[in-house]
Chains A and B, each alone.
Chain A
Amino acid sequence: MKTTKIKLAAILLVVMAVGVSFTALNKITVKGSDTMVILSQKWAEVYMQKHPGASIQVTGGGSGVGLAALINGSTDIANSSRPIKATEVEKLKARYSTLGVEIPCAKDGLSVYLNKANGVSELTIKQIGLIFAGKITNWKQVGGVDANIRLYGRESSSGTFAFFKDNVVKTDYSPSCQTLPGTAAIVNAVKKDKLGIGYGGAAYAEGVKDCKVKKDDKSPGVYPTAETIKNKTYPISRYLYMYLKSRPTGETKAFVDWILSAEGQKLVVETGYFPVK
């Protein structure tokens, strides 16, 4: 009799816990990539206007921070400007028994910013890599004035930092590269510094000039535009992702579906990025 009661209580407890855990509030938290924060805020703002019951909170912090928050359960969606790493997937496996869900939600050309007064206007990917690795240190070496190059980059938690390192620098960044907490700060620094060079999302390039990027010595220089990113002639482009720990349900699914709809993708273009479809 006593055992039956205990069993019944245990079953009831399990059912209650399962029930409570699925009674999710309508609040969705989004955290991560600073590159995506404006776009994500725009999505949230417009979506909440159209769906008054929904509550979406967007914060930045960097792709690494967003993915760490996803793994430890403190955000529903992690924005990332780089693909998730194998080590991060292993952590999702360990914590949630899932591989995570990757949703490419926009495309971005990664601009190389130059001061408007800089005589240099195009560089090969190799030259850009050597500049940020600290191997080319004078503008004279790439056809500019005889003056030292000043580097501006992102902090290591940034997906842009990681993407640029993996695809352009291909080694460690130069120790003289000044790290700044956001793409806007990099643009601002290059705007004020005639000898500066920085990198970041194409959408942020205001008050600076985009450097034409050449695949190699023989290729023509290409600006990051909708056309060149779409036809893949601009060599430094990437996807922007949203990551979830498991396949979305309820309000989160509705929000993600809306982002991928024509309406959500229209905001991508308006914000200065490029649609995935």
Chain B
Amino acid sequence: MKKILFAVLVMTSVFSNAQDVKSDTIKAVSVDSLQTTTVDSVKTATIESLKESLDEHSMKFSGLEERLATMDGDLAKLTKIKFSGYLQAQYEMYNFQDNIGPGPSTTAVPIKNTFFIRRARVKLTYEPITGAVFVIQPDYAFDKVTLRDAYVQVNDRWIQTFKLFLGQFNRTSYEVEFSSRSRELLERSRMSGILYPQERDLGAKIEMDLQTKYEIPFKFQLAVFNGNYGEGSLTNNLRDVDNKKDVMMRGVYSFTFPSQGLGIDIGAHTYLGNTAVLQAGTFSDVNNNNFTAKVGDSFQKRWFGGEMRVYYDFLGGMSLKGEYISGQISGEKSTTLLPVANSNPSFNFNGIRDFTGYYATLVKNIGKSNQLAVRYDSWDPNRHLAGNAVTIKEDLKYDNWSFSWQYFYDDNVKIVAGYSLPINEKSTTVGGDYIKDKLDNTFTIRIQAGF
């Protein structure tokens, strides 16, 4: 019975479905035509939509490419600008503060220690095309911003040997050009500070380097400067105070003995300049005898120096660096003209002096992160007089011991502990503090961070 009922139901459903087809309003078409039409229409629709989609994506890609090219161009410009800089923050302890600092008096309440920002510099270098460089480096002291470097450098593109500098840059001496961020000791020698105040001057320099093109390790520099930068107030650093230009030359040859791990740099430099008398008055000669000079008179300012550096790969590296300079220096301090000219803030005198100065520095690397350095430097501003024959403190000879321990914390940070012991020549004629060695030792802890 169940089987009969099931068969009836199946047949009823088949009939009802057949009725649906018959009652459909769509006209019957042949199978071939139906297939062709359907497939073609599908094909047409797909290709068109694909084309549209492709066009759309192509346009999007073109747009992106254009944007990318613009960004690429902008990025390429940015890579031509380089920022670097460093900050030296330090804590100092000393026996004596040499009339500097914020206090109204350093004698009533002697200042024995201080925190201090020694340097805070940012160097901006822009090289729009290979071989043309623009450099600007301000120094941000806590009370003022001063311009340290500002020059254009053009490298010769033909024989790749010469570089021309124009603007404000370091004078051509080893110790001056050796960046203070890399220096092993906290300060330069007294000699460099006096001969090259503020290290820089305004002028032009041609540098010849035979290493790159000819593999001859010889470097020669010829510079012409105004000759008064760093002397007197900053205002007189803007222009030359006389028409005379000072000339500097320096040559260095590097010997290398790779199998011994030895390198020796030998060089010499000279400074050929003048001091123009801007206000007539009484001056003193090399023997400290007085004479009168009139406006426009010219005193010599010229010296010659030899330098040598030995690098030896001994237990991780050590070096011995030395420089000796001798000649005549001149200046004036009593001029009341503004801007004050030819007045060396590190060494004030009215006249001409024959001087001698030198230093020897020993540096030893200890492992990857530590370095020890010791330097002995000497500055005799008046080599014709000694002891009690010296009548003014500016003519006293100074010898100086400096020690430092550097710890390289990482690529950018180093910690330096340093101690300096200046030993002055004693003279009862000068009197005061100078009848014995003045207490002016300094201990410094410095952190230098650079980028």
Whether, in the assembled complex, B38 has its beta carbon less than 8 Å from a beta carbon of chain A, the answer is no
Once the chains bind, are B367 and A97 in contact (CB under 8 Å)? no
CA distance A97 to B320 in the complex (A): 9
Whether, in the assembled complex, B281 has its beta carbon less than 8 Å from a beta carbon of chain A, the answer is no
Once the chains bind, are B258 and A97 in contact (CB under 8 Å)? no
Whether, in the assembled complex, B429 has its beta carbon less than 8 Å from a beta carbon of chain A, the answer is no
Once the chains bind, are A99 and B370 in contact (CB under 8 Å)? no
Please give the residue numbers on chain A whose beta carbons come within 8 Å of chain B beta carbons, in ascending order: 14, 17-18, 20-22, 24, 72-74, 86, 93-99, 101-102, 172, 245-247
CA distance A184 to B319 in the complex (A): 43
For the complex of A and B, 7 pairs with smallest distance between CB atoms: A21-B367, A97-B319, A98-B317, A97-B317, A72-B411, A96-B317, A99-B263
Chain B: which residue is nearest A68 at the CB level? B411
When the two chains form the complex, which single residue of B209, B212, B316, B363 contacts A246, counting CB atoms closer than 8 Å? B316
Smallest distance from the beta carbon of A188 to chain B beta carbons, Å? 20
CA distance A99 to B262 in the complex (A): 7
Enumerate chain A residues within 8 angstroms of B312, measured Cβ to Cβ.
97-98
Once the chains bind, are A101 and B370 in contact (CB under 8 Å)? no
CA distance A99 to B317 in the complex (A): 9
Known: A94-B182, A99-B256. A73 touches B368 (CB 8 A): yes
Smallest distance from the beta carbon of A231 to chain B beta carbons, Å? 24
Once the chains bind, are B261 and A73 in contact (CB under 8 Å)? no
Whether, in the assembled complex, B318 has its beta carbon less than 8 Å from a beta carbon of chain A, the answer is yes
When the two chains form the complex, which single residue of B182, B209, B211, B313 contacts A95, counting CB atoms closer than 8 Å? B182
Once the chains bind, are A98 and B367 in contact (CB under 8 Å)? no
CA distance A247 to B311 in the complex (A): 13
CA distance A130 to B400 in the complex (A): 59
Once the chains bind, are B313 and A98 in contact (CB under 8 Å)? yes
Once the chains bind, are B316 and A17 in contact (CB under 8 Å)? no
Smallest distance from the beta carbon of B251 to chain A beta carbons, Å? 16
Enumerate chain A residues within 8 angstroms of B313, measured Cβ to Cβ.
98-99, 101, 246-247
When the two chains form the complex, which single residue of A20, A72, A93, A95 contacts B367, counting CB atoms closer than 8 Å? A20
Q: A22-B367, A99-B256 are in contact. List 14 more A-B contacts (CB 8 A).
A: A21-B367, A21-B370, A73-B369, A73-B411, A86-B212, A94-B182, A96-B317, A96-B365, A97-B318, A98-B317, A101-B261, A101-B313, A102-B258, A247-B261
When the two chains form the complex, which single residue of B178, B211, B363, B369 contacts A21, counting CB atoms closer than 8 Å? B369
Chain B: which residue is nearest A14 at the CB level? B372
Whether, in the assembled complex, B408 has its beta carbon less than 8 Å from a beta carbon of chain A, the answer is yes
CA distance A37 to B369 in the complex (A): 27
Once the chains bind, are A17 and B317 in contact (CB under 8 Å)? no
CB under 8 Å from chain A, chain B span 404-443: 408, 411
Whether, in the assembled complex, B296 has its beta carbon less than 8 Å from a beta carbon of chain A, the answer is no
Enumerate chain B residues within 8 angstroms of A93, measured Cβ to Cβ.
263, 309, 311, 319
Enumerate chain B residues within 8 angstroms of A72, measured Cβ to Cβ.
411
Enumerate chain A residues within 8 angstroms of B363, measured Cβ to Cβ.
97
CA distance A79 to B115 in the complex (A): 43
Enumerate chain A residues within 8 angstroms of B339, measured Cβ to Cβ.
none
Once the chains bind, are A17 and B365 in contact (CB under 8 Å)? no
CA distance A246 to B315 in the complex (A): 8
Most buried by B among A20, A94, A95, A245: A94
Known: A72-B411, A74-B411, A86-B217. A96 touches B316 (CB 8 A): yes
Once the chains bind, are A99 and B369 in contact (CB under 8 Å)? no
25 sample A-B contacts, Cβ–Cβ < 8 Å, listed by A number? A14-B372, A17-B366, A18-B367, A20-B367, A21-B316, A21-B368, A22-B367, A73-B408, A74-B411, A86-B209, A93-B311, A93-B319, A94-B182, A97-B311, A97-B312, A97-B318, A97-B319, A97-B363, A97-B364, A98-B312, A99-B263, A101-B258, A246-B317, A246-B365, A247-B261
